[in-house]
Amino acid sequence: MSTSALDGLDPALTAPKRLAAMALLSRSAAADFSVLRDHLGVSESDLSKQMSALVAAGYVSARKSGHGRGSATTYAATRAGKRAYARHRSALEAILDGQPGPG
Taken in order of first residue, the domains within the chain and their CATH numbers are: 11-96 (1.10.10.10)
**What pTM did the predictor assign?**
0.86
The phi-psi region of residue 84 (left if phi > 0; otherwise alpha if psi is between -120 and 50; otherwise beta) is alpha
Cα distance between residue 70 and residue 72, in whole Å: 7
Q: Distances in Å between the alpha carbon of 22 and those of 25, 27, 60, 69, 72?
A: 5, 9, 8, 26, 19
Higher pLDDT, 13 or 98: 13
Percent share of the chain, pLDDT over 90: 75
Q: Note the pLDDT of residue 1.
A: 47
3-state helix, strand and coil shares in percent for the chain, rounded to the nearest 5: 55, 15, 30
